[in-house]
């Protein structure tokens, strides 16, 4: 019984210390974020080993900015209801192979590559997929979410 209690205590302490760690953000990311999103609220940075992510509110909207490990900006997702997507995108989704799938999320994706895209996430059973559309409603990419 003492061994089980000791293991539980060690696991609890390890979990608490992991949550208490402060994420060290590259200066390049912090400077870009401060300039691009001046006035952002509730900025919460995380590091998931492959990138840095900042979840925040900006001008009343929920956003997530993603940065490469070297601190360069990759893209920002502005979350919205599917009903707020451009009409051409909504029409394409309604005619797509995922039209009858359950909606999970929708977002406008702004990247360093230029033109914005719109991401629709849908789920059916255990399958989840992201489909990306341009502003005219043309599918440009799809990704199975694991």
pLDDT of residue 10: 42
pLDDT of residue 144: 87
Higher pLDDT, 120 or 2: 120
Q: Which residues contact 18 (CB under 8 A, 6 or more apart)?
A: none
CB 43 within 8 Å of CB 33: yes
CB 37 within 8 Å of CB 65: yes
pLDDT of residue 112: 82
Region of residue 60 (left: phi > 0; alpha: psi -120 to 50; beta: else): left
Structurally, how many domains does the chain consist of?
1
- Condensed to tens digits (0 to 9), the pLDDT of residues 6-34 reads 433 344 434 433 343 457 899 999 999 99
Q: Is residue 84 domain-resident?
A: yes
- Condensed to tens digits (0 to 9), the pLDDT of residues 81-123 reads 999 999 999 999 999 999 999 999 999 999 988 889 999 999 9
Q: For residue 40, what are the domain limits? A: 25-144
Q: Is residue 124 domain-resident?
A: yes
Q: Is residue 38 domain-resident?
A: yes
pLDDT of residue 123: 96
Taking 70 as the threshold, does the pLDDT of residue 2 lie above it?
no
Q: Cα angle at 120 between 63 and 107, to 5 degrees? A: 15
- Measured from the Cβ of residue 144, the count of other Cβ atoms closer than 10 Å reads 8
Confidence of residue 42 (pLDDT cuts 50, 70, 90): very high
pLDDT of residue 22: 53
Region of residue 137 (left: phi > 0; alpha: psi -120 to 50; beta: else): left
């Amino acid at each position: 019984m003492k061994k089980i209690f000791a293991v539980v205590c060690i696991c609890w302490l390890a979990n608490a210390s992991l949550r208490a760690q402060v994420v060290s953000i590259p200066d390049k990311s912090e400077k870009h974020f401060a300039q691009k999103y001046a006035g952002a609220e509730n900025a919460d940075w995380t590091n998931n080993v492959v990138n840095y992510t900042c979840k925040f509110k900006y001008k009343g909207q929920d956003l997530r900015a993603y940065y490469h490990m070297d601190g360069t900006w990759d893209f920002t997702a502005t979350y919205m209801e599917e009903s707020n997507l451009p009409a051409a995108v909504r029409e394409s989704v309604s005619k797509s192979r995922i039209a009858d799938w359950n909606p999970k999320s929708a977002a406008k994706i702004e990247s360093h590559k230029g033109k914005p895209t719109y991401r629709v996430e849908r789920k059916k059973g255990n399958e989840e997929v992201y489909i990306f559309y341009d502003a005219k409603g043309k599918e440009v990419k799809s990704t199975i979410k694991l």
